[in-house]
Structure 1
């Protein structure tokens, strides 16, 4: 099922983003009356195609990109009538060619901005950045000691308001990439309303981020810094039973309340989950309540490998009482024009983070093994699609932004490489020679193929280590 979600998510995401990218080239070419011969989503043999007017629209076999083919005398394209000569791409001014090529990555950046703006307008749910404990001997423990309240909320990082843990993580990443050794945190004691007499206390601390490792994608940044995020205690009640799981085979139903595990009393779901993980493949006994009646059952737990270690598998999901959960949740939303501004700011922050990461790869501060290939993109797309449309739209915005930035890099064969050649032509007043352009295109092909193979190897290494 996971494979199907990944395949579906990848096809939808890449198909949509490539279509948007190529539409950018297409629409500006049409604006300048350049003849478009082919609009293709994917490479290779066409699977579906339809001619509308002078353009053939098609979906090809390999979905890792696409292209728009213009009438160009240098490619040996046949010219049907004399008027077509003025519509050939190679006959356009350097500024028109520059605009046509720039439009592809530019529309990807604009689309990302639109997606993020819409999400901020609609509302993005998240968990408030509330922590209940501080890990001993951590960066946080050296600068903060909890007083007066067991729960604290991170209100801002370097004076930037952070309403969710996701916002905290992004801000920490941005500061780490910019080369900072520490960040300023604004904290406030958190009360869910049970102690209205408690005085609100704000604390400002300076937190060292030296221990964060950009080359370790599996590092839990929050734990590494010393945060223990708060999670409300839920009673051990089953909300959903997963088909073909040990729980399903044993006959458990939604609403069953788990009372004992191997004779040990259970007070919350976390205790039950901990016991299950610690007993992979073992025979266990469970006492549970159903409709007020106690039942006893024995079953054999399943086994799954998590981060190279065997973990027990029961096959049921927690029943979440929204009344318990809601005080610690939030929805980040803004009025329309504020949402547009927030979407723009978010896009700029992501662009800055991406460029910083690329720069650090070239300077060897960050390992190129952080590069992700199509397998990782498919995995992320499948998980996002499975988690709902807000999660999938967020990924689409991120991928569209990455696609736009990637295509603007001055790598031959990519849009950025063409823009460099057109810039040279604009400065010199004459195009670069055909021989030079051919050499540059061959060099670009080698670079792109090498990067693709390297990214695929990174994907396979990640899979083998999971």
Structure 2
């Protein structure tokens, strides 16, 4: 009975939230490919959420097989003329097609139609994220505070630089800040990176140089991460905490800015890994996504749906990586085709896809290793 209770807790606490979040993001991604492909006159053979054996499915009136598959770690749309789910062209099959068949084959479609169909998946992910954030901003607004310092931590970078209570932070490295959250978001991904802070003190504006300290913080779920901190805080008296409300149009703009922040934060983290400022242990795979999904589920559906928005941006970016097997790799091929006036040769394409497969598998193994290390650590 104890084992049954443990399994039920694992299922409802982690697996179910994970499946809800991932299925939503994957479905929207693949729907982007499907809709633009159909609009482009390309015949769709299969729309699958998940990989591996089919669990259930049906055929629509256009001949597309819609199915739910056993391994819920992605999905795919297979077009007529594709060799496999990665949209590797089946050149032999295309060459043997009649003119009528070629008209509906993906490899035979005009270059711009193929590019639009491939790009539609990641674009759909970004649209989903913007829409989710926009709904939350339109309904709930956003709590903001003015970027005014209420207190300075003793021994901090801010104290060393000469920041004083009452200072209003107006810019960081020349980038204007409007809220205290803008300050946190700018400083957090820049541990040990010098920053030029512009402050307003009693009507006088001047610059202060400081370097955020690398600080390990632990969230309410026990997850530890390293961020940059300068040692300033605000409060109601200094920051005038308030809820900022948005019209539907303004909410969409805020949703786009929130999605762009995730993009910037991702590139900043990857750049810091490359130059050695950050460790790659924050790169997570399905185990970590499942863990975070379960944690967000304890906070309610709103938090879980917002996690879906963050994951949607991440999956959109991942798929735009210029790696064969991914959407970005296909777009690179189409760019080369546009320049050369012809597709790459079959041999070069085949070797590129082999490299892409190895790169994707290596990334998955590394992320899974990070997940396992996190669990046993």
Q: Tell me if TM exceeds 0.5.
A: yes
Q: Higher helix proportion, which one?
A: 2
1:259 maps to what in 2?
Answer: none
Is contact 2:142–2:243 with CA below 8 Å preserved after alignment? Answer: yes
Any residues of structure 2 matched to 1:78-157 within 5 Å, and which? Answer: 83-124=100-141, 134-144=152-162
Number of residues paired by the alignment?
351
Any residues of structure 2 matched to 1:255-334 within 5 Å, and which? Answer: 330-334=242-246
2:334 maps to what in 1?
Answer: 422
Is contact 2:217–2:227 with CA below 8 Å preserved after alignment? Answer: no
1:33 maps to what in 2?
Answer: 41
2:213 maps to what in 1?
Answer: 211
CA distance in 1, matches of 2:233, 2:74: 42
Please give the per-residue CA displacement for 1:378-428, whole angstroms capped at 9, x wherever unaligned.
111122222123322322221111111111110110011111111111111
Is contact 2:337–2:343 with CA below 8 Å preserved after alignment? Answer: yes
CA distance in 1, matches of 2:231, 2:10: 33
Measured on the aligned residues, the alpha-carbon RMSD in Å equals 3.5
CA distance in 1, matches of 2:134, 2:106: 35
2:187 maps to what in 1?
Answer: 172
CA distance in 1, matches of 2:33, 2:341: 24
Secondary structure of the residue aligned to 2:103 is helix
Distance 1:360 1:341, change over 3 A: same
2:31 maps to what in 1?
Answer: 23
- The yes-or-no answer on 1:464 pairing with 2:376 is yes
Distance 1:436 1:81, change over 3 A: closer
Q: Higher strand proportion, which one?
A: 1
Any residues of structure 2 matched to 1:376-391 within 5 Å, and which? Answer: 376-391=288-303
1:159 maps to what in 2?
Answer: 176
User: 1:132 deviation in Å?
Assistant: 6.4
Distance 1:352 1:68, change over 3 A: same
CA distance in 2, matches of 1:211, 1:145: 15
Is contact 1:98–1:422 with CA below 8 Å preserved after alignment? Answer: yes
Larger-Rg structure:
1
CA distance in 2, matches of 1:22, 1:144: 53
The two structures have a TM-score, normalised by structure 2, of: 0.80
Distance 1:369 1:145, change over 3 A: closer
Structure 1: tracts of 5 or more residues without a match: 189-199, 232-326
Is contact 1:35–1:87 with CA below 8 Å preserved after alignment? Answer: yes
User: 1:32 deviation in Å?
Assistant: 1.1
CA distance in 2, matches of 1:181, 1:120: 33
User: 1:80 deviation in Å?
Assistant: 9.8
User: 1:456 deviation in Å?
Assistant: 0.6
Please give the per-residue CA displacement for 1:106-125, whole angstroms capped at 9, x wherever unaligned.
11112222222222222256
User: 1:89 deviation in Å?
Assistant: 0.9
Is contact 1:71–1:77 with CA below 8 Å preserved after alignment? Answer: no
User: 1:61 deviation in Å?
Assistant: 0.8
CA distance in 2, matches of 1:154, 1:460: 41
Secondary structure of the residue aligned to 1:110 is helix
Please give the per-residue CA displacement for 1:297-350, whole angstroms capped at 9, x wherever unaligned.
xxxxxxxxxxxxxxxxxxxxxxxxxxxxxx986434322222222222222232
Distance 1:116 1:377, change over 3 A: same
Is contact 1:181–1:210 with CA below 8 Å preserved after alignment? Answer: yes
CA distance in 1, matches of 2:107, 2:313: 29
Structure 2: tracts of 5 or more residues without a match: 1-8, 83-89, 219-223
1:312 maps to what in 2?
Answer: none
